[in-house]
Amino acid sequence: MLVDAHAHIDIKDFDKDRDQILKKCNIIVVNAGVDLESNLKSLELEKKYSNVIAAVGFHPEFVKNKINELDKCLELVEKARIISEVGLDYFWIKEDELRKKEIEILSRFLEIGEKEQKPLIIHVRGGFNDLVTILSSYKVKFVIHAFEGSIKNAKRVIELGGLISMPPILLRDKTRQEIIKNVDLEYILTETDSPFMAHEKMIRNEPCNVQLTIEKIAELKNIDIQEVEKKIENNFKKLLHL
Ligand SMILES: [Zn+2]
C-alpha cells in the first residue's frame, strides 16, 4: 500500500473529483488541517473515507492573522490520531515577536503529542536550529514534511528519532535526491503535500503521485520498487504504533 503522509485534499481544488482521486490507487492519505475550518474538514474526511487519516494542527504562517482560532484547533487535537500541520516558518514570518509566538505554539502541540502519544508531522522553513532545540525537550514521534536542507540537517533529524518525508518534487530537485541517497530507507516517508509540490511545475499534485516518488527512491537507491513501497508502509505503521 502507498502512503501519503501529508496532503491537503480538503481544499476546494479537489471538490470536483475528490472521490476518484482517493480511489485511483491503493493508498492511505493523511490530511493535514492548517486552520480551524480545515481541521474540521479533515475530521469529516476521515469519517467519509476509510483510507483517510485526519491530522489536526495550526499552520505557523497563521500566527499572523488567525491566532484567534488557535485554542479551538488545540482542542480538536484530541479527535485526531496525528498532529499536523504544525511547525516553524521563518520564510514568511520575519518579525522576532511572531517567531517567538510560533515557538510557543509549537511547544503547546508538542506537549499534547507527548502526553497523548500522537506523532507530529512538522513543517519547517527556516528556523531549523530553533526546531532542533525545541524538539530535544520532548519525547515524541515526529516527521519533517517535505524536508528541505542539507544532508547534515537530515542526519540531525534522524539522531532525534525523526523521519524525513519526501514529496514528488523529488523528481526535479537535485538537493533532495542527494538526501535520499544519503539517508537509510528506515527513516524515509512519502507524501505529496497535494495540491502543492508536484513532480512538474504548475500542475495540481494528488495523492497517487506518491507512486512516482517511490519509483524515484528505488532508482536513486538501486532497490526494488516493491521493497521501497513495503518499507515505507512499515515506517508509517511504526509511527502510528500499528
Ligand atoms: Zn502542508
Distance (Å) from CA 152 to ligand 1 centroid: 23
Domain boundaries, the chain: 2-239
Measured CA distances, 235 to 94, 134, 142 (Å): 35, 24, 12
Q: Give the pLDDT confidence score for residue 19 in this predicted structure.
A: 97
Residues with CB under 5 A from ligand 1 (ion): 85, 193
Rounded CA separation 99/103 (Å)? 6
Distance (Å) from CA 215 to ligand 1 centroid: 22
Distance (Å) from CA 33 to ligand 1 centroid: 8
Cell output for 139:
519525547
Q: What is the tens place of the pLDDT at every residue in 154-190?
A: 999 999 999 999 999 999 999 999 999 999 999 999 9
Cβ count within 10 A of residue 50: 8
Q: What is the tens place of the pLDDT at every residue in 194-223?
A: 999 899 998 999 999 999 999 999 999 999
Distance (Å) from CA 14 to ligand 1 centroid: 15
Residue 36 has pLDDT above 90, yes or no: yes
Mean pLDDT estimate for the chain: 96
Annotated binding-site residues for a divalent metal cation read: 6, 8, 85, 123, 145, 193
Cell output for 157:
533529524
Q: Give the pLDDT confidence score for residue 242 in this predicted structure.
A: 61
Q: Give the pLDDT confidence score for residue 163 in this predicted structure.
A: 98
Residue pair 121/58 in contact by the 8 Å Cβ criterion: no
Enter the pTM of the model: 0.96
Which residue bears the cell 480511489? Answer: 23
Q: Give the pLDDT confidence score for residue 241 in this predicted structure.
A: 81
Helix (H/G/I), strand (E/B), else coil: 35 = coil
In the chain, the amino acid numbered 50 is: S
Residue pair 193/167 in contact by the 8 Å Cβ criterion: yes
Distance (Å) from CA 125 to ligand 1 centroid: 11
Q: What is the tens place of the pLDDT at every residue in 73-105?
A: 999 999 999 999 999 999 999 999 999 999 999
pLDDT average, residue stretch 109-133: 96
Strand partners, 86: 122
Burial of 221 by CB count in 10 Å (0-12 exposed, 13-18 middle, 19+ buried)? Answer: middle
pLDDT average, residue stretch 8-14: 97
Distant-in-sequence, close-in-space partners of 156: CB < 8 Å, separation ≥ 6: 132
Distance (Å) from CA 167 to ligand 1 centroid: 10
Radius of gyration for the chain, computed over Cα atoms and rounded to the nearest angstrom: 17
Distance (Å) from CA 63 to ligand 1 centroid: 15
Helix (H/G/I), strand (E/B), else coil: 86 = strand
CATH code: domain 2-239 is 3.20.20.140
Which residue bears the cell 544519503? Answer: 182
